[in-house]
């Protein structure tokens, strides 16, 4: 099978299988791992089910159940099509991770509510909470309480900033739009580890 682009072939097989699950293919990577190959398939929640007018609702992250279901579907399809021939491989289905760069409009849409670090094509870098994401621009609220509208075309690089405070520790004004289930919990509902 020399000369065949295995990753493109695998992507062509996998992408349509994810659509009915509400997922989207982000990347296919094939790397040597001893006598085998590691086939890493990155998937994420498809924000395409959200109305185009809805630019600011929080989209739930990829769940372990969704990854497990996608793994079953992908594994069955790859067993049937044998895209690597007789070459043994290890299949890993995963999310792209928080550290990945945001490059497509859907990446921004999925990260509404999170803290972003944005490097524009010109001007000063911006760090702030992503309030809304349209197909053409972002609305970002910075630490100085200023809202910025940033055209996607003017972003050189962007990524999610890790936050080490829990959502419930944020001031209420930063949580507009998020459900607050804290009032429904008793102290007896907490588990200690």
What CATH number should be reported for the domain holding residue 119? 2.30.30.100
Q: Is residue 179 part of a domain?
A: no
Per the structure, the count of domains in the chain is: 2
CB distance 21 to 73 below 8 Å: yes
Angle at which helices 6-18 and 64-81 cross, to 10°: 130
| Per-position b or e across 76-88, b if 16+ CB within 10 A of its CB | eebeeeebbeeee
Please give the pLDDT value at position 168. Answer: 54
Q: Is residue 184 part of a domain?
A: no
Q: Is residue 131 part of a domain?
A: yes
Alpha-helical (H) ranges within the chain are: 6-18, 64-81, 105-110
Please give the pLDDT value at position 176. Answer: 55
| Nearest Cα residue to 123 out of 99, 91, 155 | 155
Say which DSSP state 154 is in: G
Q: By residue range, what is the domain housing residue 81?
A: 6-94
Please give the pLDDT value at position 185. Answer: 40
Give the whole-angstrom CA distance, residue 166 versus residue 156. Answer: 29
Please check whether residues 77 and 110 belong to one and the same domain.
no
- Tens of pLDDT along 14-44? 999 999 999 999 999 999 988 899 999 999 9
Please check whether residues 22 and 78 belong to one and the same domain.
yes
Please check whether residues 42 and 122 belong to one and the same domain.
no
Q: Is residue 1 part of a domain?
A: no
Please check whether residues 29 and 88 belong to one and the same domain.
yes
Q: Is residue 192 part of a domain?
A: no
Please check whether residues 43 and 123 belong to one and the same domain.
no
Please check whether residues 39 and 68 belong to one and the same domain.
yes
pTM: 0.76
Give the whole-angstrom CA distance, residue 43 versus residue 69. Answer: 12
Please check whether residues 88 and 17 belong to one and the same domain.
yes
| Nearest Cα residue to 59 out of 27, 11, 107 | 107
User: Which parts of the chain have pLDDT scores under 70?
Assistant: 1-4, 166-193
Please check whether residues 56 and 29 belong to one and the same domain.
yes
């Amino acid at each position: 099978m020399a000369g065949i682009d295995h990753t493109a072939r695998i992507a062509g097989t996998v992408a349509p299988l994810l659509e009915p699950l509400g997922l989207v293919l982000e990347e296919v990577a094939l790397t040597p791992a001893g006598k085998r190959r590691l086939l890493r398939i990155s998937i994420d929640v498809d924000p395409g089910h959200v109305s185009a007018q809805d630019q600011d609702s929080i989209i739930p992250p990829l769940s372990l159940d969704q990854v497990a279901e996608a793994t079953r579907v992908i594994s069955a399809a790859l067993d049937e099509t044998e895209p690597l021939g007789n070459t043994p491989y290890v299949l890993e289905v995963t999310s792209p991770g928080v550290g990945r760069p945001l490059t497509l409009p859907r990446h921004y849409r999925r990260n509404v509510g999170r803290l972003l670090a944005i490097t524009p094509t010109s001007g000063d870098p911006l760090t702030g909470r992503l309030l809304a994401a349209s197909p053409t621009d972002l609305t970002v609220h910075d630490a100085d309480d200023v809202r910025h509208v940033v055209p996607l075309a003017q972003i050189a690089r962007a990524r999610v900033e890790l936050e080490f405070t829990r959502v419930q520790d944020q001031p209420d004004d930063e949580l507009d739009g998020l459900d607050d289930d804290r009032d429904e919990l008793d102290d007896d509902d907490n588990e200690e580890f």
